[in-house]
Structure 1
Amino acid sequence: MSTDFYTSSILPHAGIIIKICRAYTDSQEDFEDYYQEACLQIWKSRTAFQEKSKWSTWIYRVTLNVCLTLSKKSQRKNYTTMHNEASVTNNAFENEDLNLLYDAIKKLSEVDRAIILLHLEENPHKEIAAIIGTSANNIAVRINRIKKQLKELLDGKIN
Structure 2
Amino acid sequence: MTFEEIYKVYWPKVYRQCMGYMNDPDTAKDIAQDTFIKVWQHLPKFRNESSIGTWIFRISVNSCLRQIGKDNKMPKSELPNEIFEEILVNDEPKVEFLYRCISELPEVERIIISLELEELKQKEIAKIVGLSESNVRVRIHRIKEKLTKKFQQHGR
Contact 2:21–2:102 (8 Å) recurs in 1: no
Which structure has greater helix proportion? 2
Task: Give the equivalent residue in structure 2 for 1:104.
Answer: 101
CA shift, 1:96, in A, is 1.0
Length, aligned pairs only: 138
Task: Give the equivalent residue in structure 2 for 1:133.
Answer: 130
Match of 1:116 among 113, 116, 123: 113
Query: Structure 2, unaligned stretches of length 5 or more?
Result: 74-90
RMSD: 2.1
Task: Give the equivalent residue in structure 1 for 2:19.
Answer: 22
With the length of structure 1 as denominator, give the TM-score of the two structures.
0.78
The structure whose Rg is larger is: 1
Alpha-carbon distance in structure 1 between the residues aligned to 2:139 and 2:4 = 35
CA shift, 1:25, in A, is 2.0
Alpha-carbon distance in structure 2 between the residues aligned to 1:111 and 1:122 = 17
Contact 1:20–1:67 (8 Å) recurs in 2: no
Task: Give the equivalent residue in structure 1 for 2:72.
Answer: 75
Contact 1:23–1:106 (8 Å) recurs in 2: yes
Query: Structure 1, unaligned stretches of length 5 or more?
Result: 77-93
Alpha-carbon distance in structure 2 between the residues aligned to 1:144 and 1:21 = 22
With the length of structure 2 as denominator, give the TM-score of the two structures.
0.80
1:27/1:131 CA distance change after superposition, 3 Å = closer
CA shift, 1:6, in A, is 4.1
The structure whose RCO (Cα within 8 Å, separation 6+) is larger is 2
Aligned sequence identity (%): 31
Contact 1:104–1:150 (8 Å) recurs in 2: yes
